[in-house]
Amino acid sequence: MTTKLSAGERLAQGRRDDSARRRERVLKVINQLARDGGTVSVSAIARSAGVDRSFLYRHPDLLAHVHALASEPPPTPGKGPAVSRASLQADLLAANARSTRLAEQVRQLEQRLSEVLGEQVWRTSGVGPPSDIDRLQARITELEQQNLDLNLQLGEKEEELSAARAANRELTKTINQE
């Protein structure tokens, strides 16, 4: 006895059948790429199978199959060991780290070169201090000390002069009173 399906049941059955057909197309494309070694990505498989990418994301088993295939190296018969995606990513990370280190080293060297060239230009232009600045600093210190000594001697001489003037006044006063 054949039972007649309602319109809603026929619609649901049609969707299940369509999903199964699309699933078969996706599996066929995945198997073909695994054999031939083509580009494996969600977009490439969806495009080749004629389905939307969201179809793959709604079916976790198909998505896991795609990711597993993408992580395996493509078959290269007669060419020795294949390079895996993981090893290429590790190489890329190492190259990026090395590039970052080299960029930092270049930045430091450029900074140092800039400082050295700036100092050299400053000196040769005559704006900067002379090259024998240490000798001049020592001479300045020596002259400052000599100046202090002369000021002390001047102070002593002024005291002696004041004392002599005071004695002279006293003598003049004494002579004038006699």
At 75-87, the pLDDT tens digits run 555 565 667 777 7
Question: Do 18 and 65 fall within a single domain?
Answer: yes
Same domain as 56, residue 24: yes
- Residue 7 in any domain: the answer is no
Residues 6+ apart with CB under 8 A from 116: none
Residues 114 and 139 in one domain: no
Structural domain count of the chain: 3
Residue 150 CA to residue 156 CA, distance in Å, equals 10
- Mark which of 74, 94, 118 sits at the end of a domain: 74
Q: Is residue 80 part of a domain?
A: no
Asked whether residue 103 falls in the same domain as residue 122, the answer is yes
Range of the domain at 96: 85-128
Does 155 reside within a domain?
yes
Mean pLDDT of all residues in 7-12: 87
Question: Which one-letter DSSP state was computed for residue 126?
Answer: T
pLDDT in tens, 10-59: 888 889 998 899 999 998 988 888 787 777 788 888 888 889 888 888 88
Q: Are residues 18 and 69 in the same domain?
A: yes
Contact predicate 72/60, CB 8 Å: no
Q: Is residue 167 part of a domain?
A: yes
Using CA atoms, how far apart are residues 28 and 20, in angstroms rounded to an integer? 12
Same domain? For 139 and 109 the reply is no
9 occurs within a structural domain: no
Angstrom distance (rounded) from CA 58 to CA 114:
58
Residues 30 and 70 in one domain: yes
In a shared domain, residues 60 and 91: no
Mean pLDDT of 56-68: 86
Output the pLDDT for position 112.
96
* Residue 72: predicted pLDDT: 72
Q: For residues 118 and 139, state if they share a domain.
A: no
Q: Look at residue 161 and tell me whether its pLDDT is greater than 90.
A: yes
pTM of the model: 0.40
pLDDT band of residue 133 (cuts 50, 70, 90) is confident
33 and 69 in a single domain? The answer is: yes
> What would the mean pLDDT of 65-84 be, rounded to a whole number?
69
pLDDT in tens, 38-50: 777 888 888 888 8
DSSP string, the chain: -PPPPPHHHHHHHHHHHHHHHHHHHHHHHHHHHHHHT----HHHHHHHHT--HHHHHH-HHHHHHHHHHHHSPPP-TTS-SPPPHHHHHHHHHHHHHHHHHHHHHHHHHHHHHHHHHHHHHHHHTTSSPPTTHHHHHHHHHHHHHHHHHHHHHHHHHHHHHHHHHHHHHHHHHHHHH-
- Same domain for 55 and 97: no
110 part of a folded domain: yes
